[in-house]
Structure 1
């Protein structure tokens, strides 16, 4: 059972990384570059893409504010908790800084997608811990 849990965590981490790297480009192409997006914009962008479909709540928490996230998921039958999801993303990409902003996500995505970048580590947050709102 531990192996399955490890694999599930690995899949989730890979999905979060894919959202971090590829979703900003899609969102800005479809809705212009913004400080935040609606859950519907994030979900639609994922659904029309080849991005992982199983962890959309992580993308919504990454690109939407708490109020929009909670309004969107209040009717869902899933126990999504905004702070827990943001903490997971923060541990992976922002050195634990939970108050990262969409601008911070764009910075990581831009760094990962630049031709001069030799790769994209999973701890790509800025040295000051990000620039939350």
Structure 2
């Protein structure tokens, strides 16, 4: 189960940045609506939408749409994709996605 959730979270981290930039322009944060649309349109699992919100929305926006723990989800993403750096920003996410350089935990294409 953990492997499946890790894969789903990495897929969000890889697929959403290019979609968000192409659709809405570059921003350090996005609205929950924009993130939700990105999850839908990139084929990512909506079961992990709270992780996507924690990755790409600010805390106040996250709290408007989720009853989850922002800090815990944000840290889970940081541990999985950004070597534990909870201060990751959108530029780090674009690097992880492969849009600008290579990600920290990747491997293989075709996710």
Shared fold (TM-score, shorter chain, > 0.5): yes
Tell me the SS of whatever aligns to 1:33. coil
Instruction: Report how many residues are paired.
Output: 106
Shift of 1:53: 1.9
Q: Give me the CA root mean square deviation.
A: 1.9
1:39 to 17, 32, 57: 32
Off by >4 Å, runs of 4+ in structure 1 = none
Larger Rg: 1
In the other structure, the counterpart of 1:128 is none
1:122 to 2:105 alignment: yes
Greater relative contact order: 1 or 2 (C-alpha under 8 angstroms, separation 6 or more)? 2
| Structure with greater helix percent | 2
Instruction: Give the TM-score of the pair, scaled to structure 1.
Output: 0.71
Give ranges in structure 1 of 5+ residues lacking alignment: 1-6, 74-78, 124-133
